[in-house]
């Protein structure tokens, strides 16, 4: 049932040119950063004489692409999540889902999975794009896989939060703005605690947990953080929809 809802969401995304255009534009942005990354590598490395200054091509180009990807996703994901529930609320199509024999959990998870499948296409293509480096060099696949997992978890968290804000309002734009502001706050939170990196508040920052992935490190505590982040916001969304039924 979750998959059926996910299929419906994907169908809506690809029914209009929107889905295709977003994919194309984002890939174009990532692609151009990939190219500049490769160009810069030769420039920077030809200047670096001492061995300590030298870094591998995977890390150099990977870091360029993945850091810009996480930043662009901060804008792109709220634009994709904003419609998920608020649009249905506005066009009054929620009763269609509510009166079908499916639970609220399935509805919310289905919408979430549908969006994640869409975003996974991007994460997968970024990975594919970077593996083309292997044609000229011997690259570090472990580093790329860790980064992909990190980016995937990051966009999944963005989506979970975006879906929650989408369930709060009837106006997709308000949902987008709210989720962008809160995601941005969560991303830069650790900067406020630069003097005390071990402060518990800094621990809440999304970026702090993404950073270990971007170093190529898959840490179970970071996995747990993202997992909790996602499940918290999905649970809140389910509760918000349940309130519709109870309060009317």
Partner 1 sequence: MSNLTLEAIELTRLFGGREAVKNVSFHLEKGEVLGFLGPNGAGKSTTMRMLTGNLAPSIGTVKICGIDMIENPKEAKALIGYLPEMRPIYKELTVDEFLTIAARLHKVPSKQIKKAVDIAKEKCGLSHMSKRLIENLSNGYQQRVAIAQAIIHNPLVVILDEPTVGLDPIQIREIRSLIREIGQKHSVILSTHILPEVEMVCDRVQIIDKGNLVFHGSIDELKQHRQGNKLLVGFTKAPTLSALKDIEGVTKVEKVEAGMYRIHFKNKQSPSEAIVKLSVKNRWGLYQIAPDQTSLEDVFVQLTEKKQKN
Among 101, 135, 194, 195, binds partner 1 (CB under 8 A): 101
Measured between alpha carbons, how far is residue 107 from residues 31, 101, 216 in Å?
35, 10, 35
Q: Which among 195, 200, 192, 203 has a CA at the least distance from the CA of 229? A: 203
Give how many residues touch partner 1 by CB under 8 A.
25
- Choose one: 1-9, 146-154, 172-180, 222-230; the region binding partner 1 (CB under 8 A): 1-9
Measured between alpha carbons, how far is residue 133 from residues 129, 136, 190, 200 in Å?
8, 6, 33, 39
To partner 1, the closest distance from the beta carbon of 107 in angstroms equals 10
Phi, psi (5° rounding) for residue 214?
A: -75, -15
Among 22, 70, 75, 96, binds partner 1 (CB under 8 A): 96
Taking residues 14 to 43 in sequence order and writing x for each that binds partner 1 by CB under 8 A, - otherwise, the string is: -xx---------------------------
| Tokens representing residue 223 in the block | 């996995």
Q: Which among 175, 7, 19 has a CA at the least distance from the CA of 106? A: 7
Q: Which among 119, 112, 94, 96 has a CA at the least distance from the CA of 237? A: 112
Residue corresponding to tokens 């509805």: 107
- Choose one: 10-18, 20-28, 69-77, 218-226; the region binding partner 1 (CB under 8 A): 10-18
Q: Which is nearer to partner 1, 9 or 190 (CB)?
A: 9
To partner 1, the closest distance from the beta carbon of 229 in angstroms equals 29
Q: Which is nearer to partner 1, 68 or 79 (CB)?
A: 79
Interaction site with partner 1 (CB under 8 A): 1, 4-5, 7-8, 11-12, 15-16, 91-103, 245-246, 248
């Amino acid at each position: 049932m979750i998959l059926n809802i996910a299929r419906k969401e994907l169908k809506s995304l690809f029914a209009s040119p929107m889905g295709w255009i977003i994919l194309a534009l984002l890939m174009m942005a990532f692609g151009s950063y990939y190219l500049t990354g490769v160009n810069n590598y030769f420039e920077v490395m030809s200047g670096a004489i001492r061995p300590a200054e030298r870094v591998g091509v995977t890390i150099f180009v990977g870091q360029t692409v993945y850091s810009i990807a996480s930043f662009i996703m901060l804008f792109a994901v709220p634009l994709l999540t904003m419609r998920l529930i608020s649009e249905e609320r506005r066009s009054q199509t929620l009763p269609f889902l509510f009166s079908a024999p499916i639970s609220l959990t399935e509805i919310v998870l289905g919408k979430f999975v549908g969006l994640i499948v869409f975003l996974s296409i991007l994460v997968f293509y970024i990975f594919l794009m970077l593996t083309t480096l292997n044609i000229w060099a011997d690259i570090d696949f472990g580093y790329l896989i860790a980064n992909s997992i990190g980016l995937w978890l990051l966009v999944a968290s963005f989506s979970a939060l975006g879906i929650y804000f989408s369930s709060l309002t009837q106006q997709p734009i308000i949902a987008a703005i709210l989720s962008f502001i809160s995601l941005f706050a969560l991303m830069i939170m650790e900067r406020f605690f630069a003097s005390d990196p071990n402060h518990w508040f800094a621990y809440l920052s999304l970026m702090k947990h993404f950073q270990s992935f971007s170093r190529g490190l898959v840490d179970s505590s970071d996995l747990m953080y993202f997992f909790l982040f996602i499940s918290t916001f999905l649970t809140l969304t389910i509760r918000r929809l349940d309130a519709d039924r109870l309060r009317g």
